[in-house]
Chains A and B, each alone.
Chain A
């Protein structure tokens, strides 16, 4: 066994240990440790990815001394590697970009707690990506929820705390359903490891036994994770949560946490329940309907918002809808498009949340439309960052959002029954996106009116880390938009490895 194969395990445990060590460190040291840790785990994930690309196959990694089907396993393949690297990069930039705001929002003596949460969050995200065991997935889903809740409530404002408890309640509903789902699965298959469980499921499907329990499992697991990732009818917690947390937390929650759950869902679909069973059980159609409803409704809500952060949050509802729509198409292409949109959305939404920080700084920390008028001139780089993010969300060519749309549309052409609704909803949703995002962009570049309230103190320049983070996010967006081919290929190969 090559030494590189240990890397996934190392990265998970490293993130977790840094969280534990941070509890005795000062805020600043915890912050530095966190940044170094994220960089190192990303490098480790990159190593894993390169290994998998070179060997061209995935490998399971035994945790402890019991071999499958009894012991615990993690598994690394191309898709896991790409996702882990990507999550690491986005996490690093989000933490980097939000540094100052975090220091302002969080009490001095609690700053290290914030970074503990970040460390635990990364650890649980990596575990969700790599795990090959359903119960481990459940445990890390809970750790993820707790860390997420911590990230929201660390800003000691009334609204962020009420948002945190709402988030917690919705998450508990989701994880409760997930847990009962996998208990039933364990009941009928006798396995918690994904690979043997899949064999049993396939055998059961072939024999036609336990048809209704299987259906219940699919529904319960699907709905549970859909609640946690904020799919349309279960989205109530999103605007408050993303709207009132500190910017790093918003970027991480919207960009990564919901995506971690979706990734887990895809993994369970492929590696346990079997994608063909899912397609034949109509479950994908349910997700598809929820997805396209979300695409339209999320955008409609966003149009009504005057608070720009809540607007951005509602746009997440629409974008999550895109991802589920792709999953719901029920084809390989649709799934590739969905996974690509996971990347697109996390890079773009994090960019929006982080560059918005620069705009708020230049507008006396106000977040409504009127105060932001002309902010693009007061903080040019943040303005450009927000513009690029918005254009990418709308789907302008050369940016990542365009490739997502292209992939969705071409995959829709492959599935005859869903082609027309998909294309129509795609067009409608894009136009709605354009309405609110471009309106905001124009607002950023229009002249302040005499009747506008004066800006208290204009911070002329943002700190270097914010600017660096914005630049890197723009670069990530452009790379996804212009050199998407290898990434799409990697996603397709990775999904093929899921089997």
Chain B
């Protein structure tokens, strides 16, 4: 244990709090106690993360073997992911206070909710590939109870599916890690890669195979084809706040892992122009298109959003696969924007479920009469995701498309933007009907159910509305004032490419 101990705090503090919440009896009895402590820990977590990000430095925790250590460190990428995680986690935590009052066994949800954020911080601050892998597996394990929360037959099946996809993916990646450990001095993340040319001689083919294995393996968490199947199964059964973080942040852990592997261990130059890059691009574009298509045809709201996540996270991966500065900036900014937007969307879906019990899109006709403010927030977020200026999605997609056009990857450089465009249309097709049907249900809509159940004007409580509002505002404001974020991302891009 040597280095900056402050880095441990954002990790240890919520995990310890989570264990206390899980074990303590008083948290089971008194709801106020539970929620109060949880929110306070989340606020503290936010502050600690900022402190850790500011203080920087690195920390060696443990030596697993002579060359493999567990270590933490702060660089620009970890700053971005850590601050994003802490802030969104706090907002969703506040939302959960109201949302989870409708569910059983809240202490279990909040306990694991706190533990997962600690583990995610460890993941974000990982300084080398082994540490990243350790936290990646821990994250799968600790986030599993969030999926299993209902403990019904479907939830168990979904949990198993989630576990198997993640574990299979992680072991696929582990295969690559074992190989990389043999051909590098250390697996510490360094912009541009750490591989040793001498040790690599004659093993280039294997390097490509293991790189591909790792991309596909970590891609499982990011919902990339062919290991995307867990997302649409796991999201509908989990509580809405759990689905929100699963799809908004846990999928990004897969993205982070791929960024680390490709740009910080292997080095982008070694993959440029190889079959790995082409295969990767093909997979991402396939996922983008397929996810949008499936979302378009999906009637259940939360499943539709899950498919949308499949498609949108692959936008990010597409940007990364271009191995080009502009596309890289687009990818990272889309990480931030998609995370913010998708949380807003999922939380809206959760608010609808809590207030009305509606889960299918066609039930939500006339939603504007029930919760106009919430639906307004939803609409802003939806427009941002489609990419309508000046909302945030436009900025990231602009960088993605222009990066692709100048990437020099042959046919992909124009096929990619084309697919993105088609997918954007589909996005509009699956997100906007809710707005249109909600505000303008048409003449034949009598709203009998709304009248019978006295639902009109029944907005969700402020605890739920406020986080949705903040996220929607963020989705808009990031688009209007992207300057400082983009310049930070450009500096990252310049360092790795």
Interface-forming stretch among A143-151, A181-189, A294-302, A440-448?
Answer: A440-448
- Report yes or no: B179 in contact with A446, Cβ–Cβ below 8 A: no
- Report yes or no: A442 in contact with B178, Cβ–Cβ below 8 A: no
Annotate A461-498 by CB proximity to B: 1 below 8 A, 0 otherwise.
00000000000000000000011110010000000000
- Report yes or no: A434 in contact with B134, Cβ–Cβ below 8 A: no
User: Quick one: which of B145, B152, B168, B179 contacts A431, CB cutoff 8 A?
Assistant: B168
User: From B183, which residue of chain A is reached at the shortest CB distance?
Assistant: A413
User: Quick one: which of B66, B133, B179 contacts A485, CB cutoff 8 A?
Assistant: B66
Chain A interface, number of residues (Cβ within 8 angstroms): 31
CB of A87 to closest CB in B, whole Å: 24
Interface-forming stretch among B84-92, B159-167, B406-414, B459-467?
Answer: B159-167
CB of B175 to closest CB in A, whole Å: 5
- Report yes or no: B133 in contact with A397, Cβ–Cβ below 8 A: yes
- Report yes or no: A406 in contact with B178, Cβ–Cβ below 8 A: yes
Q: How far is the CA of A394 from the CA of B163 in the complex (A)?
A: 12
A385-414 residues with Cβ-Cβ distance < 8 A to B are: 391, 394-398, 403, 405-406, 409-410, 413
- Report yes or no: B141 in contact with A396, Cβ–Cβ below 8 A: yes
Annotate B40-52 by CB proximity to A: 1 below 8 A, 0 otherwise.
0000000000000
- Report yes or no: A438 in contact with B163, Cβ–Cβ below 8 A: yes
Q: How far is the CA of A435 from the CA of B168 in the complex (A)?
A: 10
- Report yes or no: B134 in contact with A438, Cβ–Cβ below 8 A: no
For the complex, is A283 an interface residue (Cβ under 8 Å from B)? Answer: no
- Report yes or no: B163 in contact with A442, Cβ–Cβ below 8 A: yes
Q: How far is the CA of A434 from the CA of B163 in the complex (A)?
A: 9
Annotate B57-73 by CB proximity to A: 1 below 8 A, 0 otherwise.
00000111110100000
Could you say which residues of chain B place their CB within 8 Å of the CB of A413?
Answer: 178-179, 182
Interface residues of B, dominant DSSP: helix
Q: How far is the CA of A435 from the CA of B161 in the complex (A)?
A: 10
- Report yes or no: B63 in contact with A394, Cβ–Cβ below 8 A: no
Could you say which residues of chain B place their CB within 8 Å of the CB of A430?
Answer: 171, 174
For the complex, is B172 an interface residue (Cβ under 8 Å from A)? Answer: yes
User: Quick one: which of A431, A445, A484 contacts B171, CB cutoff 8 A?
Assistant: A431
User: From A409, which residue of chain B is reached at the shortest CB distance?
Assistant: B178
Could you say which residues of chain A place their CB within 8 Å of the CB of B160?
Answer: 438-439, 442
For the complex, is B153 an interface residue (Cβ under 8 Å from A)? Answer: yes
Chain B interface, number of residues (Cβ within 8 angstroms): 32
Could you say which residues of chain B place their CB within 8 Å of the CB of A397?
Answer: 130, 133-134, 137-138
Could you say which residues of chain B place their CB within 8 Å of the CB of A434?
Answer: 163-164, 167-168, 171
User: From A377, which residue of chain B is reached at the shortest CB distance?
Assistant: B151
CB of B452 to closest CB in A, whole Å: 32
Could you say which residues of chain A place their CB within 8 Å of the CB of B181?
Answer: 410
Using A410-B182, A413-B182 as known contacts, say yes or no to A442 and B159 having CB atoms under 8 A apart. Answer: yes
Could you say which residues of chain A place their CB within 8 Å of the CB of B159?
Answer: 442
User: From A380, which residue of chain B is reached at the shortest CB distance?
Assistant: B23
Q: How far is the CA of A442 from the CA of B147 in the complex (A)?
A: 12
- Report yes or no: B65 in contact with A488, Cβ–Cβ below 8 A: yes
- Report yes or no: A423 in contact with B178, Cβ–Cβ below 8 A: yes
- Report yes or no: B65 in contact with A485, Cβ–Cβ below 8 A: yes
- Report yes or no: A484 in contact with B64, Cβ–Cβ below 8 A: yes
Q: How far is the CA of A449 from the CA of B182 in the complex (A)?
A: 49
- Report yes or no: A410 in contact with B62, Cβ–Cβ below 8 A: no
CB of A456 to closest CB in B, whole Å: 23
The 12 sampled A-B contact pairs (Cβ below 8 Å) are A391-B141, A409-B175, A427-B172, A427-B174, A431-B171, A434-B167, A434-B168, A442-B159, A445-B145, A449-B153, A485-B63, A485-B66
Add 15 more A-B contacts to A406-B68, A434-B167, A442-B163 (CB < 8 A): A403-B65, A405-B174, A406-B64, A409-B175, A409-B178, A413-B178, A434-B168, A435-B164, A438-B163, A438-B164, A442-B156, A442-B159, A446-B148, A482-B64, A484-B64
A residues sitting closer than 8 Å to B (CB atoms) are 391, 394-398, 403, 405-406, 409-410, 413, 423, 426-427, 430-431, 434-435, 438-439, 442, 445-447, 449, 482-485, 488
